[in-house]
A and B are shown apart, each in its own frame.
Chain A
Amino acid sequence: MTIRTEPVTINLGPQHPSTHGVFRLRVTFDGEVVLDVEPVFGYLHRGSEKLAESRTYVQIVTLTDRMDYIASMSNNLAYVKAVEKLADIEVPERAQYIRVISAELQRIASHMMATGFLLNDLGAFATPLMYCFRERERILDLFEMLCGARITLSYMRPGGVLQDAPDDFWPALDRIVEDLPASLDELEDLITSNEIVLTRTRGVGMLTAEQAIDNSVNGPMLRAAGVQWDLRKADPYEVYDRLEFDIPIGSDGDNFDRYTVRIQEMRESVRIIKQCIEQIPDGPVRAATPFFIRAPEGDAYASVEGPKGELGFYLVSDGGISPYRCKVRAPSFINLNPLREMLIGGKMGDLITTFGSIDIVLGEVDR
């Protein structure tokens, strides 16, 4: 007697603990094995790009906060760089340093969140997540000193930053930079050599360098696949060409490499911030810009290495006070390209962890 079996289709999401927002995966399972994956998104679509067409250039900064709400600072930076390129605005040196410091802090905060949730997806009952959140909270406190907000920061402005950092910001920053390596060591002691973590992450969700490049994957995912590519080195913006840092890469492009690359990037970010603290000059933090910036007719694309990959803004101006078109190259969205290649054939548990290791933010995927 043979027992008839049939594949089961399950909707993972939009309400599911591990979809990192309102993402939906229509997955066909044969028992525990994934046969087919069909991503469905758009649940968080707010039309940010269209809204930008009816806002002034400064107002759009607040829209960018709400795209990747885990890393608003990087979004702000990418957007204002596009405006500066379009309207040809010079940025004072002190402002550039402050931008680099806050972007790197934001990278640490974002990677902390990615690492914590990856481990939560692995089934560690929230303990590593809370360890990561403790550090993230301290960084958010710093952002609160800078601009009064913690998540939707809107700290950058075309031509500089909103305001200079207050006096008590610098000692607080020093303390965090001192403590962070120890906290990362603590996290690694708990996790990196754990047998179960190794078993669950090594050789799971593999992505080769060819596949990664074919799918225009970017950021830590690309570097985990062994491709040494980072916009901070490849096309230095702000003051990154004056700073010394390494680009960590992985060898196999599996979940474990993505995790280790993020941990090492956090260590490199600490290095960058330390150098910035030493080098930062005195001076103004915001160039004089008109209240309504009118960019000359034309277009400009500027991109930064965000925590999740190359984050770019493409602006087209018709000479008015708001852009004619604003297009975002959202790394979270583009990193979902190889989803099927990574997931099909794996087990259900692998599906969840691989999806978690991509580190997407639905605000940015749907925009």
Chain B
Amino acid sequence: MNIGELFEGIISFGSIYDFIDGFVPEGLDWLAFTVGAVILAFIVINVMIMSTAVYTWFERRTLGRFQNRLGPNRWGPYGLLQPIADLLKLITKEDTTPDEADRWVMLLAPIVLLVPTLVVVAVVPFGDNSFLGRLNIGILFVLGVTSVNTIAIFMAGWGSANKYAMLGAMRGVAMLVSYEVPMALAVVGVLILSGSLAMFDIVQSQSIPFLIVQPLGFLIFVAAASAEMSRTPFDQIEAESELGSGYNTEYSGIKFALLFLAEFMAPIINSMIIVVLFLGGTNGPSIIPGQIWFIVKTFVVVFALLWVRATWPRLRVDQIMGFAWKGLFALSLLNIFAIAIEVVIFQDDAGNISTSSLWIMSAINWVLTVVAIVVTARVLGQNKLERPAPTPSPLANMYAEAD
């Protein structure tokens, strides 16, 4: 048995259900169904939480290398046990609530933020046969569920009765709602090409990765996704140097740990969705099982996002909104327009597009992408502003002879 089959056997709901159904008497299928679902949810949630723990370690070590320092290296080999130390510290801290706070809203916010992030995993196609939920509207479900975090962030900001938190939350709502639009529109390009909303079909239709076919859509989606998870250059919600810590300023203890968990899980989930939509998911040379391909691709995307975070400063709040509506929105409409026309031209009578046609489309789209980005940079960018050579002000002249 190769690794892929083993993995599918563990994670597919059908096999777990069949296994449990063998033990329960006739007529109690619902019990087997419930138990199977709980077991599967337990596995998936814990795998996600553990991978988030590893990711926090990876992020901190990598940032350390970017910044000429070591990163956490005390606790365990290469500091690998650092997430456990962090968690223990957070759990043992006092869980405070400010006097003025709206207790229930403040308590619920971390849960409302974390749950959608985990629910999204259910529809991600990890393998050829393994599905946690075979949803025919998978990508719609993803977009819908992830937009819940806007409410969670506003709940956290409102509930804590803190001005910094409130400012962060208000920025967050404005920004997240704005970036939902280009994100959804970037997905439309993928949907037109693949002709299906199901994540599995999207993966299947990528005989060449959609990154190559529609680079513009990929770039828009990555920018919007990094805004959705509020990472630099879009980290207005936290904006450490401006708002202290933004919406989670008043959180401590286990509630903060949950916020932290959701925040660090977001890059992994977003990378998975990027991999499914644009990098061909589990597709790859069959020497290595598809699941490994998926993990490797996710890792590459996570690293690229981390690289951006380590390098770039943050945009100002009005500039972020301007970038969404003036830049990304227009570009995503252009992307849809181009893809739609190309699909009409290249599809055959059965509605399929051959691989060679996809290559031609890629060539057209790359040219379009470069032109579109150069034009956008010209219109919105700052580099065009040439400065005159500085001339000394006549108000004070230190070379003048003293009288």
Contacts and interface: CB of A to CB of B under 8 A. Distances in A.
Given A127-B66, A234-B398, A250-B390, A352 B242 contact: yes
Q: Which of B242, B244, B381 has the most CB of A within 10 A?
A: B242
A257 B390 CA distance: 10
B356 interface: no
Interface string B313-340: 1111111000000000000000000000
A196 B312 CA distance: 8
B392 A228 contact: yes
A119 B382 CA distance: 18
Nearest to A29: B167
B241 interface: yes
Interface in A116-131: 119-127, 129-131
Interface string A222-243: 0001111110011000000000
Contact of B319 (A8, A194, A199): A199
B239 A228 contact: no
Interface in B221-277: 232-233, 235, 239-242, 244
Interface in A21-39: 29, 31-32
Nearest to B311: A127
A196 B241 contact: no
Contacts of B396: 213, 227-229
A123 B313 contact: yes
A196 B393 contact: no
Nearest to B381: A195
B74 interface: no
Contacts of A197: 313
Contacts of B69: 130
User: Interface residues of B: mostly helix, strand, loop or mixed?
Assistant: loop
Interface residues of A, number: 53
A66 B272 CA distance: 52
Contact of A251 (B239, B313, B315, B389): B389
A352 B389 CA distance: 28
Nearest to B64: A130
B164 A349 contact: no
Interface string B38-74: 0000000000000000000000000100111100000
A359 interface: no
A213 B390 contact: no
Nearest to B385: A202
B395 A10 contact: no
A227 B392 contact: yes
Contact of B317 (A120, A127, A252, A348): A348
Contact of B395 (A122, A131, A213): A213
A277 B223 CA distance: 51
Nearest to A226: B393
Contacts of B397: 228
A263 interface: no
A46 interface: no
A50 interface: no
A350 interface: yes
A249 B392 CA distance: 7
A275 interface: no
A196 B163 contact: no
B311 A124 contact: yes
Interface in B355-403: 377, 381-383, 385, 387-393, 395-399
A190 B381 CA distance: 18
Interface in A1-55: 8, 10, 16-18, 29, 31-32
B310 A32 contact: no
Contacts of A340: none
B134 interface: no
B232 A124 contact: yes
A251 B390 CA distance: 4
Interface of A: 8, 10, 16-18, 29, 31-32, 119-127, 129-131, 134, 190, 193-200, 202, 209-210, 213, 225-230, 233-234, 247, 249-252, 257, 347-350, 352
15 contacts: A123-B232, A123-B235, A123-B240, A124-B311, A127-B66, A130-B68, A196-B314, A226-B390, A226-B392, A228-B392, A228-B393, A229-B398, A233-B399, A247-B398, A251-B390
Interface of B: 63, 66-69, 163-164, 167, 170-171, 232-233, 235, 239-242, 244, 309-319, 377, 381-383, 385, 387-393, 395-399
Given A16-B244, A29-B167, A196-B233, 11 more contacts: A18-B242, A127-B67, A127-B310, A195-B382, A196-B315, A209-B395, A210-B395, A229-B396, A250-B390, A251-B389, A349-B316
